[in-house]
Amino acid sequence: MPLVLTDNLPASNHPTVEPGVITIILAETDMLDLKKIASTKAVASLEGTAFTGQAHGVVDTVLNRVASGKGG
């Protein structure tokens, strides 16, 4: 199922939601929390695209858990 991420903009600025699409609305604090999680879970000794790729994987995992309702 596709996942659409939005920020905390007013509802009039949100993308059109289609059937079968999950929308997660993130507040600024949520985005800060994601950055903190990614920076602590990604291996600090990695550099460049290796670190970025691992950080993206961490964020993807967290958002998928939120979307599935199986988050901690």
The full set of domain ranges for the chain reads 3-68
Residue listed under structure tokens 């670190």: 51
Q: What's the pLDDT score for residue 24? A: 79
Q: Which of these, 57, 61, 55, 62, lies nearest to 38 by C-alpha position?
A: 55
* SS3 state of residue 45: coil
> Which pLDDT does position 57 carry in this prediction?
92
pLDDT of amino acid 22: 74
Distance CA 33, CA 48 (A): 22
Positions of the chain with pLDDT under 70: 1-18, 71-72
Phi first, then psi, for residue 39 (nearest 5°) are: -75, -25
pTM score over 0.85 = no
